[in-house]
């Protein structure tokens, strides 16, 4: 895979840099938050080499790539700085689309995902240490054991600081200031004061107000709430303090306000909330211990699709921190991931198509080891029946683990390699039961998937029908398409446009016109698929399936629609030569904006060649401009 070419293709097909609010990635997926999701060409992305699938859930447009996602993400970030492309209006619009629950889940996922590496690393080290102790390779009284133990405990003990940094990125406040606030909660002197107050019974006070005697080491909820509060305080202080003094006074006032509020009010509230959550989990474990692992084992694939599975991580971490034993997140996700892999392997054994067998085998092994997205989007969701098999196998395996009260002793990515995290206590009983539960999930899912099979011609048939109906998925078309010039003016190569997003071909291939007048006409007959509220750009799809973007001027979005008038609406069918937009060229130039107008073919990868007819020439509107074949 050419990572740069793939990144450029994806960026083009999600609507370009200016359509991206933010982008991140997990183990297998690029996760975009887009301003206008309807501008994204999901089918075009699916056709790209190396792309496993596309899913839109929970306010995110997700591109499933697999293990090479980090390399593609790195190239994507080189193409554009997405951190500076956000605006308040778009963020509010995104929140509104997600809803309260979706927004909360997205926030939790955004905070916890960056911390997974540290938690998993320390968790696996704890599991390895437990195995070494059981095999009597390391003695618990040795200094080697103590050093390895503190290494394995580090991420969990200092979790408030780790989460503070991650939460600060999510809430867009100073990360290092947030880390200092997290440090307050686990400072040795603060812990000593709390312990002394508990022993003497005299209590602990700050400015005459009682301090809750809580232990915040390994806590989750308190620090997230405190950093959320800090994000508002920091921004509020910045508005009041003169710019020349912000570097000194903003951190000072923020700490003076947030520190006391954290230990007096917000921290205790979070601690109490965590206590109620723990009590609820204990009640579930005593009342119906089989229920949660079975539900998690069954529905984890659906939760992964929505990004909701990250909501389970705080529960598992909280249980590990408070009891050292997690029965909520780990067991159910373990058998679910193994079942997902088994379902794909069932397809590999049953399928006749060589490409399908190869894909199913590869993603099946990956899923059994804990990375399920390639199997889910490459096999399960594509053919449906393997998804049912994975849910059945995961549910049965989870039921078994729940009945026997199986839990993990350390945080680890759920999968076959995480089985050592079930080693703990005085025996290997839990480990053996975890192995049996995993085997049950694998066998049941494999058997159901093998019996149900898949319709190997179904996907091809569906794709052909979609292409025939939409008329937009013609690849390497042999038919020549001619586009007319939407404006009168001088035609220049795209490389001469004073914006790298256009000059480097990130948003599409084509040319640009330096306009003589302010009328934009339809270059072909087709449908208007996107009309920006600011009216500075318009997108259409021709009847042959060619996707065209006309972007009037550079940075003219800042004019907020001033000097622009649209004569069509989004979704409207237009004929070749119809007037689309008119604009006041002179006023825009007087406002300091370049009116050079790129005319781009967004789905250029679907064609063999895009030829500009009149480069470096003056052209009249509705004259021939480009040939596409």
Q: Which residues are catalytic?
A: 26, 551
DSSP 541: E
Please answer whether residues 484 and 521 qualify as being in contact, where contact means their C-beta atoms are separated by less than 8 angstroms.
yes
Give the closest residue to 182 by CA, choosing from 252, 259, 248: 259
Sign for the CA dihedral angle at 313, 314, 315, 321 comes to positive
Give the closest residue to 110 by CA, choosing from 313, 301, 413: 313
3-class DSSP string for 148-177: HHHHHHHHHHCHHHHHHHHHHHHHCCCHHH
Cα 256 from Cα 251, distance rounded (Å): 9
Q: Which residue has the tokens 């494999």?
A: 446
Cα 82 from Cα 478, distance rounded (Å): 37
- CA separation, residue 270 to residues 8, 164, 517 (Å): 43, 14, 61
Please answer whether residues 508 and 600 qualify as being in contact, where contact means their C-beta atoms are separated by less than 8 angstroms.
yes
**608 is written with which tokens?**
């063999």
DSSP reduced 3-state for 229: helix
Q: What angle do CA 456, 72, 6 make, to 5 degrees?
A: 60
**231 is written with which tokens?**
């994000």
Question: How many Cβ atoms are within 10 Å of 235's Cβ, its own excluded?
Answer: 14
Cα 492 from Cα 251, distance rounded (Å): 50
Residues 6+ positions from 391 with CB-CB distance below 8 Å:
298, 299, 301, 302, 339
Cα 344 from Cα 349, distance rounded (Å): 9
Give the closest residue to 315 by CA, choosing from 336, 294, 299, 331: 331
Q: What angle do CA 505, 509, 511 make, to 5 degrees?
A: 100
Cα 40 from Cα 561, distance rounded (Å): 23
Measure CA 525 to chain center: 37
The residue ranges of DSSP E strands in 10-111, in sequence order, are: 20-25, 29-34, 53-57, 60-64
Please answer whether residues 119 and 155 qualify as being in contact, where contact means their C-beta atoms are separated by less than 8 angstroms.
yes
Determine phi and psi for 451, rounding to 5 degrees.
-70, -45
**475 is written with which tokens?**
């690849």
Measure CA 222 to chain center: 24
**35 is written with which tokens?**
């301003």
Cα 477 from Cα 569, distance rounded (Å): 29
Question: How many Cβ atoms are within 10 Å of 604's Cβ, its own excluded?
Answer: 18
């Amino acid at each position: 895979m050419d990572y740069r070419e793939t990144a450029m293709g994806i960026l083009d097909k999600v609507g370009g840099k200016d359509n991206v609010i933010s982008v991140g990635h997990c183990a297998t997926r690029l996760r975009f938050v887009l301003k206008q999701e309807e501008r994204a060409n999901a089918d075009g992305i699916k056709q790209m080499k190396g792309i496993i699938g596309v899913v839109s859930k929970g306010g995110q447009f997700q591109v499933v790539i697999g293990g090479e996602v980090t390399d593609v993400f790195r190239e994507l970030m080189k193409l554009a700085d997405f951190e500076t492309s956000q605006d308040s209006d778009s963020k509010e619009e995104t929140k509104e689309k997600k809803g309260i629950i979706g927004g909360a889940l997205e926030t939790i996922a955004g905070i916890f995902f960056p911390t997974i590496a540290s938690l998993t690393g320390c968790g696996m080290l704890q599991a390895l240490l437990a195995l070494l102790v059981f095999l009597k390779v390391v003695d618990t009284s040795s200094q080697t054991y103590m050093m390895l133990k503190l290494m394995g405990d580090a991420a969990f003990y200092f979790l408030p600081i780790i989460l503070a940094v991650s939460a600060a990125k999510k809430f867009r406040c100073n990360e290092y200031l947030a880390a200092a606030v997290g440090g307050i909660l686990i400072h040795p002197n603060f812990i000593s004061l709390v312990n002394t107050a508990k022993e003497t019974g005299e209590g602990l006070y700050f400015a005459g107000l009682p301090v809750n005697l809580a232990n915040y080491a390994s806590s989750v909820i308190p620090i997230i709430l405190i950093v959320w509060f800090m994000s508002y305080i920091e921004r509020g202080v910045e508005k009041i303090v003169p710019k020349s003094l912000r570097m000194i006074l903003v951190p000072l006032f923020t700490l003076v306000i947030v520190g006391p509020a954290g230990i007096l009010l917000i921290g205790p509230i979070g601690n109490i909330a965590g206590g109620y959550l723990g009590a609820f989990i204990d009640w579930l474990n005593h009342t119906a211990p089989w229920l949660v692992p079975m539900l998690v084992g069954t529905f984890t694939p659906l939760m992964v699709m929505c990004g909701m599975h990250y909501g389970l991580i705080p529960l598992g971490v909280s249980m590990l921190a408070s009891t050292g034993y997690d029965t909520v997140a780990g067991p159910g996700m373990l058998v679910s991931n193994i079942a997902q892999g088994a379902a794909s392997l069932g397809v590999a054994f049953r399928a006749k198509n060589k490409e399908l067998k190869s894909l199913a085998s590869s993603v099946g092994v990956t899923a059994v080891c804990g990375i399920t997205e390639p199997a889910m989007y490459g096999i399960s969701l594509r053919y449906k029946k393997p998804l049912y098999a994975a849910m059945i196998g995961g549910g049965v395996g989870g039921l078994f683990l729940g009945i026997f009260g199986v839990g993990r002793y350390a945080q680890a990515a759920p999968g076959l390699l995480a089985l050592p995290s079930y080693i703990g206590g005085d025996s290997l009983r839990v480990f053996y039961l975890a192995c049996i539960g995993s085997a049950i999930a694998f066998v049941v899912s494999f058997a159901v998937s093998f019996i149900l099979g898949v319709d190997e011609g179904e996907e091809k048939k569906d794709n052909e029908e979609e292409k025939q109906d939409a008329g937009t998925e013609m690849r390497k078309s042999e038919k020549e398409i001619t586009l007319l010039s939407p404006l009168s003016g001088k035609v220049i190569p795209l490389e001469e446009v004073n914006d790298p997003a256009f000059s480097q071909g990130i948003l599409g291939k084509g040319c640009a016109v330096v306009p003589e007048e302010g009328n934009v006409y339809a270059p072909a007959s087709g449908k208007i698929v996107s009309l920006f509220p600011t009216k500075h750009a318009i997108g259409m799809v021709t009847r042959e399936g060619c996707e065209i973007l006309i972007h009037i001027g550079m940075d003219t979005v800042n004019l907020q629609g001033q000097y622009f008038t649209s004569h069509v609406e989004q979704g409207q069918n237009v004929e070749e030569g119809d007037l689309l937009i008119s604009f006041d060229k002179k006023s825009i130039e007087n406002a300091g904006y370049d009116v050079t107008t790129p005319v781009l073919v967004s789905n250029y990868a679907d064609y063999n060649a895009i030829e500009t007819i009149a480069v470096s020439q003056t052209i009249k509107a509705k004259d021939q401009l480009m040939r596409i074949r």
